[in-house]
Chain A
Amino acid sequence: MKRVQFEHSAVPYLFIAPQILIISIFFLWPAVQALYQSFLLEDAFGMSSQFVWFRNFEDVLTSSSWTRSAIFTVVFSVLVSVLSIAISLFLAVRADEVIRGAKSYKTLLMWGYAIAPPVAGLLGIMMFNPLMGDLYKAFNSFGFEFNHIENANDAAFIVILIAVWKQVSVNFIFFLSGLQGIPKSVQEAATLDCKSPERRFWTITFPLLAPTTFFLLVINLTYAFFETFGIIDVSTKGAPGGSTATLVYKVYVDGFLGADMGGSAAQSVLLMIMVSVLTVFQFRFIERKVHY
């Protein structure tokens, strides 16, 4: 790599200063505070605190509720990412083939993007309301004994459904532009070389979408980890019994509702570590395979 030496001057630092300031105020400062707080044991009113080293971490890691939430988060994130990527890829490929009225299809499929997560959560939970929810009634009329208020799997199903639905439109936009970035002549050359459209898709189109897919995988995992907070808070609130609480939601519940600041801070530090590891893993091992 070639290094370019610039004259040292204050100007470049001035340019970067706003960004540094924002990161410092909204990320570094809270992160340091969380780290400090994770070593403290505080009473519920914040009147007194005691430095307890790693006891908060011990408590978190040995608690069954945290382990359960961690497992749920992993399953939830993987399912949400994989399902929303798969569904949106399918939709994008089909929409790309449409000739008449293509614009209307595409616009309608993108609309979901404009909906805020809590609104999506509200819509979802209303559809599954035991008294007036159409989907709730429909599921039960088909003979499923669907009851998300008591059954953890049913509740998880609802949260995943809403989270996937909300994310499909985002992925759809990226896949569509990815598909349109594949030169038409390359696809035509492939039609001469390969008769089966399915085979053509898996050998030409999909590999050429790999950079898009990787990017979306990162985006979707982040989304499932953090941005589904609004959906969960509005729909299930982690119920029944914390079985649909992701780690992020649990940080909020334990810290702000349970007033266990130390334990909550320890959880968020663990979360930070997990995300860092995940990021390194993604870029190290997956990204290497998607470049062409």
Chain B
Amino acid sequence: MATVTLNQAQKTYPNGFKAIHGIDLKIEHGEFTVLVGPSGCGKSTLLRMIAGLEGISDGEIIIDDKVVNTVAPADRDIAMVFQNYALYPHMNNYGNMAYGLKNRGYSKAEIDAKVREAARILQLEDHLERKPRQLSGGQRQRVAMGRAIVRQPKVFLFDEPLSNLDAKLRVDMRLEIKNLQQRLGITSVYVTHDQVEAMTLADRLIVMNGGVAEQIGTPIDIYEKPASQFVAGFIGSPAMNFLKGKVSDDKKHVTVGDGVMLDLDHDVEAGRDVTVGIRPEHLELLKDGEGRINAGVRMVESLGAETLAYLDFGANADNVTLRLQGTHTFEKGEKLSLSVPASKIHLFDIESGQRI
């Protein structure tokens, strides 16, 4: 168990591209931290900097009170699981798990005990003699995890470990990883672009964008109080609806689309232009005529457990997504009556995108 601290960690490539703009972060003992963001946001770079596979241009990376900026990857006492497993194809699975121990001078008996224990935890006992190519994707990823856990490192690093697996296996492995991490209590940093993985796995979530940590917090915090329009749009599926709006003179309402008035309980100056954010699941469907919002249905997607309807909020607004539990049948063009509780309305600054 260990803590990982980043002090103004920065990464600038020789061609002048700044991948990481100074990140401050403290990861506690046994905490599961997830770095999430769109591709190119610097999340993998940051992880690789912690691993030592990328150098750090400025700032400090500290593992357990020790600055590791220039420490070799093998001496940082970390283990990493890669997206494409990165198993050694010429060694059998036992050899793959034992390799790191062998190079650290463990005795044969110790190595054997550790590898067999890891294999037992990961249900790989029957596959130890086989080569990685003889295993399925899920099993390979388990061997890769085995290679990480046999060393009992201070920190686990996961670089999109589930991206190469099919959808069903991904869900199983997600649970398995969470389970394993809680059982072993090892500090973990996990990189993903999948916000479902991010939400479900994280004790703490770091949403990155353009080399900057846009928001750091628990998944629920981030879901309920996104710090910026970017975070709001990235976390939550389907994505949050954004509409241009203007705060009314009495500050009690905000007008969106073609004159739709929504209740407001924010502390915001009258007449200000804002971006209004409403999550699809927070729009409530009412019986005819009772709601403030009346919108026509453009398209419907039925997923069985839930129904997504895309609504017309007027000529100068994008489609607005409505998410309802269960199955609903709507005619195309049918007028729906909706409302949104004032507490579920998010306001963002038009220029900066920051939460108001």
Question: Footprint of B on A, CB under 8 Å?
Answer: 183, 185-186, 188-196, 199, 203-204, 207-208, 210, 292
CB distance A194 to B99 under 8 Å? yes
- Closest-by-CB residue of B relative to A204 is B88
- Option from A195, A196, A199, A292 in Cβ contact (under 8 Å) with B90: A292
Inter-chain contact B103/A192, CB cutoff 8 Å = no
Q: Which residues of chain B have C-beta atoms less than 8 A from A204's C-beta?
A: 88
B177 at the interface (CB under 8 A from A): no
Cα distance A216–B83 in the bound complex, in angstroms: 32
In angstroms, Cα B65 to Cα A246, docked, is 67
Q: Is the CB of B53 within 8 A of A191?
A: yes
B92 to chain A, nearest CB (A): 10
Whole-angstrom distance between the alpha carbons of A144 and B75 in the complex?
A: 49
Q: Name the A residues within 8 Å of B67 (CB-CB).
A: none
The CB with the most chain B CB atoms within 10 A, among A192, A194, A207, A210, is that of A192
Q: A146 to nearest B CB, angstroms?
A: 44
- How many Å lie between the Cα of A183 and that of B83 in the bound state? 12
Q: Which residues of A contact B90 (CB under 8 A)?
A: 207-208, 210, 292
Task: Tell whether B78 is near chain A: CB-to-CB under 8 Å.
Answer: yes
B168: min CB distance to chain A, Å: 25
Closest to A199 in B: B103
A190 to chain B, nearest CB (A): 7
- Contact residues of B between 57 and 101, Cβ < 8 Å to A: 72-75, 78-80, 82-84, 86-90, 99-100
Question: A193 — which chain B residues lie within 8 A by C-beta?
Answer: 74, 99-100, 103, 147
Q: Are A185 and B82 in contact (CB under 8 A)?
A: yes
- Shortest C-beta distance, B24 to chain A (Å), equals 25
- Chain A residue contacts of B103, Cβ below 8 A: 193-196, 199
B184 CB → nearest A CB, Å: 18
Closest to B89 in A: A292
- Which residues of B sit under 8 angstroms from A208, Cβ to Cβ? 89-90
Q: What is the interface of chain B, defined by CB distance below 8 A to chain A?
A: 51-53, 72-75, 78-80, 82-84, 86-90, 99-100, 103, 131, 147
29 sample A-B contacts, Cβ–Cβ < 8 Å, listed by A number: A183-B86, A185-B82, A185-B83, A185-B84, A185-B86, A186-B86, A188-B53, A188-B86, A189-B88, A190-B99, A191-B52, A192-B79, A192-B100, A193-B99, A193-B100, A193-B103, A193-B147, A194-B99, A194-B100, A194-B103, A195-B72, A195-B74, A196-B103, A203-B99, A204-B88, A207-B90, A208-B90, A210-B90, A292-B90
Q: Are B74 and A189 in contact (CB under 8 A)?
A: no
From the candidates B74, B83, B84, B88, name the one contacting A191 in the complex (CB within 8 A).
Answer: B74
The complex places the Cα of A196 from the Cα of B72 at a distance, in Å, of 10
List A contacts of B74 (CB < 8 A). 191-195
Residue numbers in A under 8 Å from B72 (CB-CB):
191, 195
Within the complex, what minimum Cβ distance (angstroms) separates B336 from chain A?
A: 50
Instruction: Report the bound CA distance from A173 to B87 in whole Å.
Output: 26
Give Cα A136 to B72, complex, Å.
47
Chain B: minimal CB distance from A193 (Å): 4
Query: B89–A192 contact, CB under 8 A?
Result: no
Q: A185-B84, A189-B86, A194-B99 are in contact. List 18 more A-B contacts (CB 8 A).
A: A185-B82, A185-B86, A188-B51, A188-B73, A188-B80, A188-B82, A188-B86, A189-B88, A190-B99, A191-B52, A192-B51, A192-B53, A192-B100, A193-B99, A195-B103, A204-B88, A292-B89, A292-B131
Provide the residues of chain B in CB contact with A292, threshold 8 Å.
89-90, 131
Which chain B residues lie closer than 8 Å to A199 at the CB level? 103
Q: How far is the CA of A207 from the CA of B99 in the complex (A)?
A: 14
Q: Is the CB of B88 within 8 A of A190?
A: yes
Whole-angstrom CA separation of A216 from B99 in the bound complex? 28
A182 to B, closest residue via Cβ = B89
C-alpha gap A185/B75 in the complex (Å): 18
Q: Cβ of B52: which chain A residues have Cβ within 8 Å of it?
A: 191
Q: What is the CA–CA distance of A203 and B100 in the complex, to the nearest angstrom?
A: 11
Q: Which chain A residues lie closer than 8 Å to B88 at the CB level?
A: 186, 189-190, 204
What CA separation (Å) do A199 and B82 show in the bound complex?
22
Chain B residues with Cβ under 8 A from A190's Cβ?
Answer: 88, 99
Which B residue sits closest to A100, measured CB to CB?
B14
A32 CB, nearest partner CB in chain B, Å: 44
In the complex, which residue of chain A has the Cβ closest to the Cβ of B51? A192
Flag if A195 contacts B53 (CB, 8 Å).
no
| Alpha-carbon gap, A190 to B80, bound state (A) | 10
Chain A contacts for B79, CB-based, 8 A: 192
Q: How far is the CB of B341 from chain A (nearest CB, A)?
A: 48
B83: chain A residues at CB < 8 Å are 185
- Sort A-B residue pairs by CB-CB distance and give the 7 closest, nearest first: A193-B100, A292-B90, A185-B86, A195-B74, A189-B86, A194-B103, A207-B90
Question: Chain B nearest CB: distance from A114 CB in Å?
Answer: 33
- Bound-state CA distance A196–B103 (Å) is 9
Give the residues in chain A near B89, CB-CB below 8 Å: 186, 208, 292
Among B73, B75, B78, B79, max chain A CB count under 10 A is at B73
Taken together as a complex, chains A and B put the C-alpha atoms of A199 and B103 apart, in Å, by 9
A71 nearest CB across to chain B (Å): 36
Q: Kindly state the separation between the CA atoms of A195 and B99 in the bound complex, as whole angstroms.
A: 12
Q: How far is the CB of B316 from chain A (nearest CB, A)?
A: 48
**CA separation between A195 and B104, bound complex, in Å?**
9
Residue of A nearest to B53 (CB): A188
Whether A195 contacts B84 in the complex (CB less than 8 A), given A188-B53, A203-B99, A207-B90, comes out as no
